[in-house]
Amino acid sequence: MTNPAVPSLMSTLSRRGFLAGSGALVASATFGTKLAFASPESPASGDVIVLVFLRGGMDGLSMVAPFQMPSYRTLRPTIRVKDASEVADPANAGLPLVAGGAVDPFALSGVFALHPGMAALHSTAWADGKLAVVHAAGMPATESSTRSHFDSMRNWEVGSAALGQTTGFLNRYLNDVGADRIAGISGGSALARSLAGPVPAYSMGSIAGFGVSGFSNNTKATNAITRWYDSGTGDVVAQVGADTMGAVSTVRSINWSDPRFAVQNGATYPGSWFSSALREVAQLIRANIGLRAVCLDVGGWDTHSDMGAPEDPNGYFRGRCRELADGLAAFYRDLGTQMDEVTVATISEFGRTIDENGTGGCDHGRGSAMLVMGGGIKGGVHGPFVPSITNGPEDDLTVLNDYRTVMAEVLTVRGGATHPGTLFPTWTPAAPLGVCR
Amino acid sequence: MLRTDRPGVTSTITPPAPEAPPARLDNGSPSRRAVLAATGVALAAAACAPANGGGAPTTTTTPTPPGPDPTSPPPPAPTTLPPTVPPTGGEGVTARIAIDKLTFGPRPGLAAAIEARGVWGWIDDQLDPVGRNVAHAEQRVSGYTTLTNTHRQNYDVQDSDGGWDRIIEELDHATIQRAVYSDRQLYEVMCDFWTNHFNTWRQKTWMTFLKNRSHETVVRPNALGKFSTMLLASAQDTAMLDYLDNLPSDASQPGGVNENYARELMELHTLGMVGGVQPFTEADVRGVAKIISGWSINWDDNANRYNFRFNPWQHSRDAVTVLGGAFTRPARTYGQGYDDGVRLVNLLAHHPTTARHIAWKLCRRFVSDTPSDALVTSAAAVFTANDTAIAPTLRHIFASPEFVAGHKKKVRRPFEHLVGALRALDATMPTAAQTQTTDKLRATLENLGQPIFERHSPDGYPDVNTFWVSSEGFLQRWAMAGRLARNRLTDPGQPDAIVVNLPALLPSPAPATVADLIRWVATNLANSPINDTDVADLCTACSFSPTAASTTVSGDATKLALAVGLVLCHPTFQQR
């Protein structure tokens, strides 16, 4: 058991604005020239897509719980989300997802409740009718039903279980919409695999740190490195170096102290690194550098044990939800009306087993819940769900909604992509679920 | 699998708990023992000790690492040994290639030593599993008692004031020092390889201290020895069994047998994946998990506590047949079954699919990201013909023309790049484990994206260029080079700093011109010659006159550090 109050050693390690992502690389053959500095006034022709990957296999049945279903109650005796009649403090009850107010009627109204840790999103984006949920989402079994973290993450990020697929689906998206300048960013020191491919994309630890540093004269060092890293040689190291120096030039030419980059609308970002990352994403969006896709990671979702009761404010899973929801709610508030040009989607490599195991958690499963948030999103729970959850042979929630059906709708309707078949070559096209307005 | 910050595994076993270890306060936070007692962690629960029947071992003797006595001085330089004749196919290996591919990077004097010994004489010295002719650096870490302590002793260390920090920092600093200063470079490169192959994340559970002894008993004695020996050591390593949830795996409990270790044993450690498909079934995972159930930990309150122990009450006694019938065993009685696990692990170690998997990984490490099928196949055959011995397999790979053609085809991963920079500039650092140097090196590796011993997933750090080549990754490694060259990687005003003395590295007589100096630095310090255009570009960017006397740069500490730091940023130094 790791003590949550980590020893002093860990706290001395510096944490930068974003943090570790995972993933692979970018090699640019076709976009070889150094970045031209484009006009900051030219608007994008589609939403900025913010993809948040919940690493570890997020238990969708806990985050978005079918809390009234009798089978849910019996299969998850200790970790089920309780309704308001079962707990003294309403803050510890599930938050029902029902139509009304800004939320148009939807078929599954009343079936689900958000985990109490998600309160910040329930009272903001959900109440505004701008938070959509798709449950039982995943990679269909006909393509892959792997429960291996590595394989599944890879499949989701490249958008296919096919071995020959090496680029990330978001890189193909950038290619589709004709991205230029700094179109794709992932938080951390490595580029997210979903952004890997021929279109240049960038890993970034923080805005302030994105530049050449460490030398007695960083200007001279920048000059030397820019000369050495030559695009167009076909050498991937040289190409990525060249792209990097172009992006550095752009980022460092912006006055980040300008008031337009301050947090707006009274939003307050909590202290987590995820929130700090979102705050910087908001700044990068406002900088008009051509941003079209962002990838961020949130870890800690591989809950094999001790998830904690949802009504316990100190429960582990509740803490994970809080970090996610509080960060997204602050971002939502900060952007304000600019959320009309942003769509956030959460994915995870799989869900978890329906019944809880002997150690207070759940093991690797299949279907999970996706969240989609944005000004152009239609609030509600979309797509089919089973009338009653039951334990299957492998004890999983069967995937009913291909996550790519959701992403294809988002990337076309909100993002402006025109070739969804190219985005997801092995996806069987299906009608959109109506997540977008 | 794993997750961060998660509470310990619990179990439904509730036998009498042993006497609780003393409470310890960690920086004012609640005592870990108190927290554990409150949640009834399995590990305490599993300490009930029914009769141990049937010849099962209670502990493993911790093997002494073979080779040089760590307390003795390093052996004398091997000047009188005859050079070895290059094997057929290996004639193209030069000292430059050997340094880039088989070490963490150039160090002053290394190229000359290789030339004197002859390249293949040097390679064979490096391949010697006990390093007879090569100096180690163990005297630098001889004070690190957590590396030689028993698990029980390291528990006591971790439980003491500041002990958790010491557990972490001794292992980290030892690893860095060995990589920088040992002349057994290939051996240290292989230790890094196997550490990643058998990756565990020491912070997944509270038993962080297990990793220190684990590293010394699983990887270090076997890195150039036999894979089968190392695999069995890993399967009986309580750090591995804890990390992959096998300690509480219990056939007699409703939660049942845990599949995590069984899966990774096959998917990551041995058989691997073939064409993206598991060469084993889910039923195989369940069967292997049954065989391995009971491979657990000794909770007895004695000197062997936390060592490996086969716990028969946890072991499934079902009949098992897996891997298409390659392994089978009948139903067993209580106390039996341990030998079945040893037999299964040995079968996996010797399996032809394992040979291919290991051969492929070795080729990816030493040749390129896309080794030919022919090379992988032939290396696998050598591996099998030599009863899974690693050194002859490596020698076969090094003797292939593809190895030579793979020069500069691999990108230095952050750990290799940092160690390479420290070696290239002949940096000195304190041998004490808990100084600003340790903190700074750990922080640097985290910023570079490869925090030491902090890979959360069991697959270890990726060994493919695409993962490591990105904008932030580059910016961070360039910053590291800039700081190191001007003695700012650590705080020079504080004790226990990393010290770089650039003037001491320069040749005498001095190179004639500034351009000559830069060329010399790139060729001799970085082992990475750069062309005339790039030399001229550096001069232009730094406002140096290329034709002026070299002393105009080498005599100015700021200019010299700028030039040398930048050479370590050149594209060709990123590659090996």
Q: Mean pLDDT, to the nearest integer, of B387-392?
A: 98
pLDDT at A80 over 80: yes
Contact between chains at B35 and A301 (C-beta distance less than 8 A): no
Q: Mean pLDDT, to the nearest integer, of B50-76?
A: 43
Q: How far is the alpha carbon of A102 from chain B, nearest alpha carbon, in Å?
A: 37
| Order of strands, sheet of A113-114, starting from the edge strand that comes earlier in the sequence | A64-65, A113-114, A95-96
pLDDT of residue B274: 87
Asked if this assembly's ipTM is beyond 0.90, the reply is no
* CA–CA dist B507, B486 (Å, integer): 19
Contacts of A196 in chain B (CB under 8 A): 466
- Determine the residue of chain A that is closest to B465 in CA distance: A25
Contact between chains at A221 and B7 (C-beta distance less than 8 A): no
Contact between chains at A196 and B448 (C-beta distance less than 8 A): no
Cα four-point dihedral sign A161, A163, A165, A168: positive
Contact between chains at B35 and A3 (C-beta distance less than 8 A): yes
Contact between chains at A24 and B35 (C-beta distance less than 8 A): no
- Residues of chain A with pLDDT > 90, as a percent, come to 76
Hey, what amino acid is at B576?
R
Q: How far is the alpha carbon of B277 from chain A, nearest alpha carbon, in Å?
A: 10
Nearest Cα neighbor of A312 from A103, A62, A125, A21 is A62
Least confident of A340-349, B24-33, B442-451: B24-33
pLDDT of residue B481: 98
Contact between chains at A224 and B41 (C-beta distance less than 8 A): no
Of the candidates A9, A211, A215, which has its C-beta nearest B165's C-beta? A9
Instruction: Specify which residues A131 forms β-bridges with.
Output: A373
* 8 Å CB contact between A433 and A403: no
pLDDT of residue B74: 55
Q: Is A305 touching B (CB cutoff 8 A)?
A: yes
Q: Is B277 touching A (CB cutoff 8 A)?
A: no
Least confident of A254-263, B244-253, B321-330: B244-253
> Which residues 358-377 of chain A have a CB within 8 Å of chain B?
358-360, 364
CB neighbour list of residue A388: distance below 8 Å, 6 or more residues apart: A69, A70, A71
DSSP-assigned letters across all residues of B166-230: HHHHHHHHHHHHHHHH-S-HHHHHHHHHHHHHT---TTSSS-TTHHHHHIIIIITTTTTSBHHHH
Q: Is B478 touching A (CB cutoff 8 A)?
A: yes
pLDDT at B245 over 80: yes
pLDDT of residue B318: 96
Confidence (pTM): 0.86
Nearest Cα neighbor of A225 from B485, B571, B483, B557 is B571
Q: Mean pLDDT, to the nearest integer, of A310-321?
A: 96
* 8 Å CB contact between A245 and A229: yes
Nearest Cα neighbor of B101 from B310, B381, B378, B405 is B405
DSSP-assigned letters across all residues of A271-335: SSHHHHHHHHHHHHHHTTS---EEEEEE-----SS----TT-TT-HHHHHHHHHHHHHHHHHHHH
* CA–CA dist B102, B404 (Å, integer): 12
**From the candidates B166, B207, B475, which should be mutated to test the interface with A, based on the most A CB atoms within 10 A?**
B475
Least confident of A203-212, A285-294, A348-357: A348-357
Question: For residues A40 and B62, which has the higher predicted lDDT (pLDDT)?
Answer: B62
Banded pLDDT at A355 (limits 50, 70, 90): confident
pLDDT at B406 over 70: yes
* CA–CA dist A361, B457 (Å, integer): 19
- Determine the residue of chain B that is closest to A13 in CA distance: B443
* 8 Å CB contact between B484 and B502: no
Contacts of B451 in chain A (CB under 8 A): 13
Side-chain half-sphere of A238: how many Cα atoms within 13 Å? 16
Side-chain half-sphere of A331: how many Cα atoms within 13 Å? 31
pLDDT at B170 over 70: yes
pLDDT at A4 over 80: no
Compute the residue count for chain B.
576
CB neighbour list of residue A160: distance below 8 Å, 6 or more residues apart: A143, A424, A425, A426, A427
> Which residues 133-152 of chain A have a CB within 8 Å of chain B?
148-151
Question: For residues B399 and A359, which has the higher predicted lDDT (pLDDT)?
Answer: B399
* CA–CA dist B444, B467 (Å, integer): 18
* 8 Å CB contact between A128 and A319: no
Q: Is B253 touching A (CB cutoff 8 A)?
A: yes
pLDDT of residue A281: 98
pLDDT of residue A362: 86
pLDDT of residue A145: 85
pLDDT of residue A180: 85
pLDDT of residue B125: 96
pLDDT of residue B2: 29
Q: How far is the alpha carbon of A244 from chain B, nearest alpha carbon, in Å?
A: 5
pLDDT of residue B76: 54
pLDDT at B246 over 50: yes
Give helix then strand counts, H and E, for chain B. 27, 4
Contacts of A301 in chain B (CB under 8 A): 3
pLDDT of residue B425: 98
Contacts of B474 in chain A (CB under 8 A): 240-241, 244
Least confident of A337-351, B77-91, B239-253, B540-554: B77-91
pLDDT of residue A24: 28
Q: Mean pLDDT, to the nearest integer, of B500-518?
A: 97
pLDDT (tens digit, 9 = 90+) per residue, B279-289?
Answer: 999 899 999 99
User: For residue A137, which phi and psi values (nearest 5 degrees)?
Assistant: -95, 145
Of the candidates A191, A229, A360, which has its C-beta nearest B571's C-beta? A229
Contacts of A4 in chain B (CB under 8 A): 5, 29
pLDDT of residue B43: 31
CB neighbour list of residue A385: distance below 8 Å, 6 or more residues apart: A66, A108, A111, A135, A136, A400
Q: In 10 A of CB B90, how many CB atoms?
A: 21
Q: Is B541 touching A (CB cutoff 8 A)?
A: yes
SS3 B297: strand
Question: For residues A206 and B60, which has the higher predicted lDDT (pLDDT)?
Answer: A206
DSSP-assigned letters across all residues of B525-573: ISS----HHHHHHHHHHHT--TTSBTHHHHTSHHHHHHHHHHHTTSGGG
Contact between chains at A224 and B537 (C-beta distance less than 8 A): yes
pLDDT of residue B47: 32
At which residue do the structure tokens 């070490």 appear?
Answer: B103
Q: How far is the alpha carbon of A192 from chain B, nearest alpha carbon, in Å?
A: 9
pLDDT (tens digit, 9 = 90+) per residue, B449-508?
Answer: 999 999 988 899 999 998 999 999 999 999 999 999 999 999 999 999 999 999 999 999
CA B39 from chain center: how many Å? 34
pLDDT of residue B127: 97
pLDDT of residue B75: 55
Instruction: Specify which residues B320 forms β-bridges with.
Output: B329
B483, B484, B488, B493: CA torsion to nearest 10:
180
* 8 Å CB contact between B199 and B455: yes
Contact between chains at B255 and A359 (C-beta distance less than 8 A): yes
pLDDT at B522 over 90: yes
pLDDT at B35 over 80: no
pLDDT of residue B81: 72
Of the candidates B39, B480, B558, which has its C-beta nearest A214's C-beta? B480
Q: Is A29 touching B (CB cutoff 8 A)?
A: no
Of the candidates B1, B32, B442, which has its C-beta nearest A149's C-beta? B1
pLDDT at A23 over 70: no
- Residues of chain A with pLDDT > 70, as a percent, come to 89
Question: For residues A184 and B13, which has the higher predicted lDDT (pLDDT)?
Answer: A184
pLDDT (tens digit, 9 = 90+) per residue, B89-135?
Answer: 899 999 999 999 999 999 999 999 999 999 999 999 999 998 988 99
* 8 Å CB contact between B224 and B391: yes
Contact between chains at B565 and A237 (C-beta distance less than 8 A): no
pLDDT of residue B72: 52
pLDDT (tens digit, 9 = 90+) per residue, A215-231?
Answer: 999 999 999 999 999 88
pLDDT of residue B21: 29
Contact between chains at A8 and B443 (C-beta distance less than 8 A): no
Contacts of B534 in chain A (CB under 8 A): 227-228
Q: Mean pLDDT, to the nearest integer, of B214-225?
A: 97
* CA–CA dist B534, B359 (Å, integer): 38
Contact between chains at B541 and A190 (C-beta distance less than 8 A): no
